[in-house]
Structure 1
Amino acid sequence: MSQPASPLPDRGPSGRRTAKGSLSSTAAKRVERPAPLRQVVYEALAELIINRTLEPGQHLVEADLAEYLGVSRQPVREALQRLQSEGWVDLRPAQGAFVHLPTDEEADQLLSVRGVLEAHSAKLAAGNAKPEDIRRLWELQQAGVDALHEEDTEGLVAANAALHAFITELSGNAVLAELIGLVDRRVRWYYTPIARPRGRDAWNEHDELIHAISDGDVDAAERIMAKHTERTRQAYHERPEAPRS
């Protein structure tokens, strides 16, 4: 008994496989699909955790989150499982889900690594920056100063992240950018409670850093960024709600 033909694509005149029943040129463009609901819910919950609308240690009730986001409980459940695998949420047997409560050791490890990566990023940026790049750095600096004057914590966090991200971009090192990108969200999470207390000092340090990058002084840029990120690490440990020994 002969076997049914396998549904392989047809081959064109060149011998290459083509879609069975050739498609017209007007049908060749793929329709962009919206992100799956579970991805949208994951991103929404992650951002609520990062900006501390959902605070460390807070109990996360699926039904409440589903109602807040206007979705069913299933994508919320899937999102919480993913957040748990990434260390943002703790799932406790018979108790439910809770926003992860970071230890000082976890913060210290991440902020220390971030300092090493960003110091090297600043050094490379100082060697690469063009006049238009410097203008953009000053624009980002002004956005942070404006947020500081308005006592806008969310704006401060966003401006700080944008400035550091642009310096990373100026480094021209794709591997470095990828590594810094891996810790960016968690850095924002740790930075949120200290953004305003750290505010004026942080943006004065940014000012000094931009001048070093503008001057092409790679050693100064590296040194200033290292000092800047170290002061941020110290400020996190000295924040008002930090546990006392």
Structure 2
Amino acid sequence: MPDPRPADPAAVKRGTTAIDMRIYKAVVTAVMSHRLPPGTHLGEADFCELYQVSRTTVRKALQRLAHDHIIELRPNRGAVIASPTPQEAREIFAARRALEREIVPLVIRHATPESLKQIRAALAAEDAARRSGDRAAWIRLGGEFHLLLARLAGNHVLLRFMGELVSRCSLIIALYETPGSAMCENDEHQDLATLIEQGKVNQAIHLIEHHLLAIEARLHLAGQDRKVNLAQALKGL
């Protein structure tokens, strides 16, 4: 599975190990797949048992997740998956639209046969997940498609910001989505890829903005309240 987040050299420098990075990536992937909805409690003891590690290792992963706004560390409650407010949701989507309006022209400017091949391969994987009925994989791959574009833009700062925004948007969608709705239409991704291949900058910018506005418009403010088994949510990650 592709790494859904860009590497963080600063985190490595601070002593990040393979196991706490594995915990970090597992939680991010579970959030992007909507396996861990906002408000889910993350017990340190559960992670210790699941990964056979110390609380110190778990706390390193949780601190990084908190730094990236994926979780909140609350007094007397511990770690919970973050629950963005409606106002925060609007601000996050506005920031993402602004970022992706900059990313798309860069993808077109730096396009190569190899980068276009990567885009089509990502779309094929997304479509396969949709056709197989694997909603969790489809949602995750939809987010990773946007991260792929950020990588292909060739700007590491934009990529780092996009990593955070895509994860936070996944939280927002998990909290506010209309049950049963398809939040990221595969046809729009296909159309965007075609515009990128054709070098149509203005049309591609218009489409990505419409795409994100449409996702935001399908959200509602009645959050979904359900209990989650942490071991089941992280199974296989």
Q: 1:198 aligns with which of 166, 182, 187?
A: 182
2:126 pairs with 1:139: no
Q: 1:171 aligns with which of 119, 139, 153?
A: 153
Aligned twin of 2:109: 127
Change beyond 3 A, Cα 1:214–1:84? closer
Unaligned runs of at least 5 residues, structure 1:
1-32
Deviates more, 1:220-229 or 1:137-146: 137-146
Shift of 1:153: 2.3
Q: Deviations over 1:69-123 (max 9, x none)?
A: 3223343344434434543333443344333222122222112111111122112
RCO higher in structure (CA 8 A, sep ≥6) = 2
| Aligned partners of 2:31 and 2:167 also within 8 Å | no
| Aligned partners of 2:82 and 2:171 also within 8 Å | no
SS of the residue 1:94 aligns to: coil
Unaligned runs of at least 5 residues, structure 2:
1-14, 226-237
Aligned twin of 2:8: none
Change beyond 3 A, Cα 1:150–1:172? same
CA distance in 1, matches of 2:28, 2:193: 31
CA distance in 2, matches of 1:208, 1:117: 19
2:198 pairs with 1:212: no
Q: Deviations over 1:105-147 (max 9, x none)?
A: 2222112111111122112323332344333322221211111
Change beyond 3 A, Cα 1:158–1:108? same
| Aligned partners of 1:153 and 1:196 also within 8 Å | no
Query: Which amino acid is the alignment partner of residue 54 of structure 1?
Result: L
| Aligned partners of 2:31 and 2:37 also within 8 Å | yes
Shift of 1:223: 0.8
Shift of 1:148: 0.9
Shift of 1:222: 0.9
Query: Which amino acid is the alignment partner of residue 204 of structure 1?
Result: D
Query: Which amino acid is the alignment partner of residue 107 of structure 1?
Result: A
Normalising by the residue count of structure 2, what TM-score does the alignment of the two structures yield? Answer: 0.71
Deviates more, 1:201-210 or 1:45-54: 45-54
- RMSD of the alignment, in Å? 3.2
SS of the residue 1:110 aligns to: helix
Aligned twin of 1:223: 206
Summarize the alignment of residues 54-93 of structure 1 with structure 2, pairs less than 5 Å apart: 54-93=36-75
Larger Rg: 1
Aligned residue pairs total 209
Deviates more, 1:117-126 or 1:170-179: 170-179
Shift of 1:37: 4.5
